[in-house]
Amino acid sequence: MRLGLAGGYAGMGMGEDLLELVQEADRLGYASVWVAEAYGSDSPTVLAWLAAQTERIGLGAGVMQIPARTPAMTAMTAATLDTLSGGRFLLGLGVSGPQVSEGWHGVRFEDPLGRTREYVDIVRSALHRENVAHDGEHFTLPLPDGPGKSLRLTIHPPRPDLPIYLAAVGPRNLRLTGEVADGWLAIFLSPEHSADQLASVREARAAAGRGTAEDPMDGFDTVATVPVVVSDDLEAARAAVAPYTALYIGGMGSREQNFYNRLARRMGFDAAADTIQDLYLAGRPRDAAAAVPMELADATALLGPPERIAERVGRYADAGVTTLSVAPYARTTEERLATLRLMAEVVTP
């Protein structure tokens, strides 16, 4: 199992010490850093900045939002970043959610699976420097009855087959990920509850003839973002990750359409999911965080003193995680750096 660093958003999450953390992860041999975007900082700009100041670490978009860019623009950005970084770019894609897609980008959140499938097809075609032409339900290139023509990417990316990852939560999206992508960006992955999720990916890869006959998961990268809180006080560790958990389960979407709330229910935390969402949508995020049970926090994060974390981290590799993307929760930069060093000691590539 490799190590990654969950870089969050520029100006949020990691904060002003992002570069220092990424450079230390690069020095420690971390395989990748993953940078997020929603409706603030964008991931490609941050990754270009990091690329110029690191040497080996993979540079992952976690994610580039599908409604934010045309597939051709995403292919151009991916090819440019991979060229400038010497072949280190990792393209993560995600459809976002209805509130951001429709409220920020002005793109209807309709048929997200069909849109994703077509999007990946066009991106791959462009990166292979084919003359891009597509006639689908969501994208038509070139536009008919006009001056448009089928064009080819003018630059030669170092890796036409650069890896494409999908952020996926639900069963249907996981099957699509197995069918068309090279990796899965997982969030709130609990090793004890992940068998069905990874089975969906495996079955789809087998049906699509991906991997090998012996192992359809061969060559597939399962990247799990995992909060890590080093503390002798388990309740304090729970409290540190609880606002993040409550935000996603309670507030990331509407009551009717919250993918993370549904995930918590599939893991058996129905009552907690109800309570967290009720409190969050009532404008009580602190109470929602307080309602996150220890069992849920402990299932989806690494909490406790170093020896407990060392004992529990192997569960992820045993479940099938191939890259553990560490989100170090701590008050100071030095403590976050110490968390990265601890994980480098307890995780064997």
Q: What is the pLDDT of residues 21-63, one digit of tens each?
A: 999 999 999 999 999 999 999 999 999 999 999 999 999 999 9
The tokens 């407990």 sit on which residue? 308
CA distance 76 to 70: 10
Average pLDDT over the chain, rounded to whole? Answer: 96
One-letter amino acid at 13 equals: G
pLDDT at position 229: 98
Q: Which whole number is the average pLDDT over 314-325?
A: 98
Q: How far apart are the first and last CA of the chain?
A: 5
Confidence class of residue 290 from pLDDT cuts 50, 70 and 90?
very high
- Is the confidence at residue 245, as pLDDT, over 70? yes
- Is the confidence at residue 16, as pLDDT, over 90? no
- pTM of this prediction exceeds 0.75: yes
- The residues near 334 (Cβ < 8 Å, ≥ 6 apart) are none
Residue 278 tokens read as 């009720």
Across-strand partners of 325?
4, 225
- Is the confidence at residue 234, as pLDDT, over 60? yes
Confidence class of residue 12 from pLDDT cuts 50, 70 and 90?
low
